[in-house]
Amino acid sequence: MQPMPMLPPHLLVIEDEQDIAALLRLHLSDLPAQVDVVADGPSGLAAALGQPFDAIVLDLRLPGLSGLDICRELRARGQRVPLLMLTARASELDRVLGLELGADDYVTKPFSVLELKARVRALLRRAAPPAAPAVARSRLDCAELSIDRARRRAWLGTLELVLTPREFDLLWHFMGHPGRVFTRAELLEQVWGYGHDGYDHTVNSHINRLRAKLGDDRSESRFIHTVWGVGYRFELVVEAS
């Protein structure tokens, strides 16, 4: 019996500039992927909530509803779909806000089509379930914190954590290397899969969100600790009785 062919990933592009939207549809279709395009914020949110997508490419400046509002609403509803933001080069504040709200990555306009396709591929690869059972460990535990790589689920005690694909990968990476200090550049290379000057706040934003979901206070972290001037370390701090 022949195995069923795998369907191409289904992508949603929310972009109001027609030329850019057409460019994205053309090149993302070459991944290959099925690409839906929506031109305004309310329609984009409705489309994202109406059916499952494998990833969303989201412009921040949209008519009717901003990309930041869409990102906030999707994450508030527990949607874990990978989100790649398109931002203007001068709008650093918007990029930081988008990352804080739950976006997984961003590309600035004007952008390289090759770089954008590589970023989308990376998001799809990391969000996909493993093709076969891995020989390596698929579950890690640290005190009441547990993470299951095969099912891509994590728990703090009895509470299941709602993590974006990138937050999940970051937590797995940290828990797999307890006590080791990672620079931001190392985390970009080993978790995001690329190194890029000027993307340090991508790491900072994801760690801040992850800490919040773990109940960590920046000044008294229990799991993820800042090593000033170097980077971050995952290590359990046991509270004194």
Exposed, middle or buried, 185 (CB in 10 Å: 0-12/13-18/19+)? Answer: middle
Q: What is the DSSP string of 119-147?
A: HHHHHHHHHSPPSS--SS--EEEETTEEE
For residues 72 and 94, the answer to whether their CB atoms sit within 8 Å is: no
- Look-up of token digits 């990376």: 122
Question: Residue 59's closest CA among 33, 27, 21?
Answer: 21
Average pLDDT, the chain: 85
Question: Which has the minimum average pLDDT: 1-5, 57-61, 73-77, 122-126?
Answer: 1-5
Between residues 119 and 38, the one the model is more confident about: 38
pTM of the model: 0.68
Contacts of 31 (CB under 8 A, 6+ apart): 8, 9, 117, 120, 121, 124
Pick the CATH number of 10-127 from 1.50.10.10, 3.40.50.2300, 3.40.50.720, 1.10.8.60: 3.40.50.2300
Residue 6 confidence (pLDDT) above 70? no
Residue 198 confidence (pLDDT) above 70? no
Pick the CATH number of 139-234 from 3.40.250.10, 3.30.1490.20, 3.30.365.10, 1.10.10.10: 1.10.10.10
